[in-house]
Amino acid sequence: MKELSSEIHVLLNSAAQNIVLAADKYIDPADGLIHCKSCGGQRQAVIPIHGIAEHFTPRCLCPCLAIAEQRRRETEEQRKRIERIRRRREQGLQDRHLYNYTFANDNGQNPLMEKARAYVDGWDKAYTSNTGLLLFGDVGTGKSFFAGCIANALLDRDVSVMMTNFPTILSRLTGMFPEERIDYIDSIGRYDLLILDDLGVERNTSYAMEQMFQVVDRRYRSCKPLIVTTNLSLEQMKNAPDVEHSRIYGRILEYCAPILFSGKDMRKNNADTTKTTAREILSTKTTL
């Protein structure tokens, strides 16, 4: 710190006599400045005014206040982050049952779940390389749960994700003016990750096919990853029945790596568990 001139020292000590201090402050006679009683650090600084023999003495943070301020900022940032993640989850996972599709709720029966964890761990590379996934296979083999686990894990990392399906998208588009449809499709493209669930269950009208292509093509041109789940086989997608389907499936196959889901129907296992639980509940005797 620059040594104070004797004139400045006298002025500071004179001014200090008229200052009313809080209980956690004191004026050090050695420099005439306000100090912190907790750490002894300066709460006031001397700043010379360039070109003239004047100065001003603004308040400043002592070390303990600087630490407290840093903690306050970190706490506030964490609060904002939690709130931002909450809003993103509400916007991106509009079906509330998807909230339960998490790695914590995985029963460990599907060995492919390790690939879901690997995708999340390698998200930065997947994002920059625009690498998506095509999850295909029979009904009930865990494709939606796999995709939902990725969605929730990335949302927890403050990544924007939307998981939806074409019937929902088409329902939203119904009744919109052309400009509104363009804006809505563009908004879908702005998510860091888009997950389209159950491809193939939508109606095959010309209008539906055109809107589906617009969504997939917009995603393709945004250079952001896409994950698709479907009960269709690769053969069905590669040998589409018409041009409309062919150009949609062609886009998806171009930049979504296929993963086959096979094995037992996990929905049947869930149904059996539900029936067992229901029998236990209904057979419980109550006393009045």
Over residues 99-154, the pLDDT tens digits come to: 999 999 999 999 999 999 999 999 999 999 999 999 999 998 999 999 999 999 99
Q: Read off the pLDDT of each residue in 69-87 and give the average, rounded to a whole number.
A: 89
Give the 3-state secondary structure of residue 253: helix
Q: What's the token pair of residue 99?
A: 């909230």
Q: Read off the pLDDT of each residue in 55-61 and give the average, rounded to a whole number.
A: 82
Q: Read off the pLDDT of each residue in 211-218 and give the average, rounded to a whole number.
A: 93
Pairing mode, strands 256-261 and 161-164: unpaired
Q: Where in the chain is the domain with CATH 3.40.50.300?
A: 93-272
- Reported as a pLDDT band with limits 50, 70 and 90, residue 49 is confident
- In one-letter notation, the amino acid at residue 50 is H
DSSP alpha helix (H) spans, the chain:
6-16, 63-92, 113-121, 123-128, 143-156, 166-173, 178-189, 206-222, 234-238, 243-255, 266-282
Return the pLDDT at 281: 56
With vertex at residue 204, the alpha carbon angle to CA 251 and CA 206, rounded to the nearest 5 degrees, is 80
Paired with 44 in beta bridges are 59
Return the pLDDT at 9: 54
Tell whether the model's pLDDT for residue 30 goes beyond 50: yes
Q: Which residues contact 235 (CB under 8 A, 6 or more apart)?
A: none
How far apart (Å, rounded) are the C-alpha atoms in residues 45 and 246? Answer: 72
Identify which has the larger pLDDT, 52 or 166. Answer: 166
- Reported as a pLDDT band with limits 50, 70 and 90, residue 275 is low
Portion of the chain with pLDDT greater than 90, in percent: 57
Shortest CA distance to 147 belongs to which of 192, 103, 90, 188? 103
Tell whether the model's pLDDT for residue 16 goes beyond 80: no
Could you give phi then psi for residue 198, rounded to 5 degrees?
A: 60, 50
How far apart (Å, rounded) are the C-alpha atoms in residues 169 and 213? Answer: 12
Return the pLDDT at 204: 81
- How is domain 93-272 classified at the architecture level of CATH? 3-Layer(aba) Sandwich (3.40)
Polymer length of the chain: 288
Q: Read off the pLDDT of each residue in 200-220 and give the average, rounded to a whole number.
A: 89
Return the pLDDT at 287: 56
pLDDT digits (tens, 9 = 90+) for 216-271: 999 999 999 999 999 999 999 999 989 999 999 999 999 999 999 986 655 555 55
Shortest CA distance to 10 belongs to which of 26, 27, 28, 32? 32
Portion of the chain with pLDDT greater than 70, in percent: 83
How far apart (Å, rounded) are the C-alpha atoms in residues 285 and 59? Answer: 73
- Reported as a pLDDT band with limits 50, 70 and 90, residue 1 is very low
pTM of the model: 0.74
Count H helices and E strands in the chain, helices first.
11, 9
Mean pLDDT taken over the chain: 86
Identify which has the larger pLDDT, 19 or 66. Answer: 66
How far apart (Å, rounded) are the C-alpha atoms in residues 13 and 10? Answer: 5
Return the pLDDT at 162: 97
